[in-house]
């Protein structure tokens, strides 16, 4: 590692270790990132001048004023994105129908080698645009997706299929444009293996809240008898169900419920037609472990009370501050027995962390 990256990682380790010391966790396991080419996503503004256009990002000066910065390469992005960036830009410049009023370009790459490029415009997209974009898609062997206000144009697919290796098995994941996916695929693989090791093996069932597209759900299903996963976003539920079927896994059910709604259903406070339609009987499950990967805001009080009823809690967090706050309640019934830091976002202050909590 270079001294710069190592210093930044060391600072994160020191900060997290100090912040969570009151919970007396075991030694922090640290999972570093590659220093370059680690991001599978990149988004750029397109800046138009009188006779040219270029990829752009913005910097703020001491007076909080934004300055346009031309981006010719992006070393933190996957190498496939860096290779494609100049090629795509030249192709877009060559055709007025593709460059006119182009506002943003979003790249979504995969370890598998697929690439989805979203072109975002400030004008309607017509048939002429579709023909030109389809030809470019075929020429560059990429998927192109068009967007403008109130309009979505899917030329082939609005997703890519990623492949992630977890121990000796490869899982395939549908990743839909504009839906959340882990941006650092190599560190994501480390997170999946850590979660599986934390789960160990159980002859009982797993409850997962905030399952997204099933990123953790699929490998964790090998460690339990059955899995009930919940997710509210329709696109993520659809992707999770596709991923379950694609990977030939038969012990997972997905309920389209928020964490708060599941708590109500589990406590018998409210019935949900969505559960009945999906033929999900919560009472048939024998849970001993709950897995959570909540949004940055953390977990609400009622859901925290629900978690306290489980023997084990595996908690992945993208915000150490809300994790720390949630542990104030969870530590009343559970002890932190594993503690990990995953450096998903090098060169930023962001930290992804994981804890295993076991009931006293």
Backbone angles phi, psi at 203, to 5 degrees: -95, 10
CB 160 within 8 A of CB 188: no
- Catalytic residue flag (residue 211): no
- The answer to the question of whether 319 is labelled as a binding residue is no
CB 292 within 8 A of CB 299: yes
- The answer to the question of whether 247 is labelled as a binding residue is no
End-to-end Cα, the chain, rounded Å: 40
**Strand 169-176 vs strand 252-255: parallel, antiparallel, or unpaired?**
unpaired
Backbone angles phi, psi at 244, to 5 degrees: -60, -45
- Catalytic residue flag (residue 352): yes
CB 108 within 8 A of CB 160: yes
DSSP 282: G
Sign of CA dihedral 328, 329, 332, 335: negative
- The answer to the question of whether 78 is labelled as a binding residue is no
- The answer to the question of whether 286 is labelled as a binding residue is no
User: Which of left, alpha, beta for 78 (phi over 0: left; psi -120 to 50: alpha)?
Assistant: beta
* CA 190/CA 56 separation, integer angstroms: 32
Tell me the β-bridge partners of 292: 209, 315
- The answer to the question of whether 182 is labelled as a binding residue is yes
Backbone angles phi, psi at 118, to 5 degrees: -100, 125
Single out the residue of 166, 198, 168 nearest to residue 182, CA to CA: 166
Single out the residue of 330, 320, 328, 278 nearest to residue 298, CA to CA: 320
Choose, from 114, 177, 261, 352, the residue flagged as catalytic.
352
Sign of CA dihedral 344, 346, 352, 354: positive
What is the set of active-site residues? 318, 352
Q: Binding site: what residues are annotated?
A: 182, 210, 215, 231, 293
């Amino acid at each position: 590692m270079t001294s710069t990256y190592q210093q930044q990682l060391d600072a994160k380790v020191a900060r997290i270790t100090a912040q969570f010391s009151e919970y007396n966790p075991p030694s922090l396991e640290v999972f570093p990132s590659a220093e370059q080419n680690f991001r599978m996503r990149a988004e750029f503004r397109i800046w138009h001048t009188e006779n040219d256009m270029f990829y752009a990002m913005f910097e703020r000066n001491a007076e909080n004023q934004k300055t346009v910065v031309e981006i010719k390469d992006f070393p933190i992005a996957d190498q496939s994105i860096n290779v494609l960036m100049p090629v795509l830009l030249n192709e877009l410049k060559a055709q007025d129908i593709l460059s006119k009023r182009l506002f943003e370009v979003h790249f979504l790459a995969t370890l598998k080698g697929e690439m989805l490029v979203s072109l975002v415009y400030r004008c309607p997209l017509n048939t002429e645009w579709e023909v030109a974009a389809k030809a470019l898609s075929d020429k560059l062997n990429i998927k192109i997706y068009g967007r403008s206000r109130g309009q979505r144009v899917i030329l082939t697919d609005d997703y890519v299929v990623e492949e992630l290796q977890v121990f000796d098995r490869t899982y395939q994941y549908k990743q839909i444009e504009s839906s959340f996916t882990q941006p650092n695929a190599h560190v994501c693989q480390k997170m999946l293996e850590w979660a599986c090791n934390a789960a160990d093996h159980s002859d009982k069932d797993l409850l997962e809240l905030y399952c997204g597209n099933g990123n953790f759900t699929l490998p964790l299903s090998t460690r339990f008898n059955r899995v009930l996963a919940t997710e509210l976003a329709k696109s993520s539920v659809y992707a999770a169900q596709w991923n379950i079927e694609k990977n030939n896994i038969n012990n997972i059910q997905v309920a389209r419920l928020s964490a708060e709604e599941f708590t109500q259903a589990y406590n018998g406070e409210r019935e949900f037609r969505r559960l009945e339609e999906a033929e999900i009987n919560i009472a048939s499950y024998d849970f001993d472990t709950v897995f959570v990967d909540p949004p940055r805001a953390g977990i609400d009080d009622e859901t925290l009370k629900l978690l306290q009823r489980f023997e084990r809690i595996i908690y992945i967090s993208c915000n150490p501050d809300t994790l720390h706050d949630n542990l104030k309640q969870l530590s009343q019934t559970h002890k932190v027995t594993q503690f990990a830091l995953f450096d998903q976002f090098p060169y930023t202050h962001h930290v992804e962390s994981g804890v295993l909590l076991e009931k006293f």
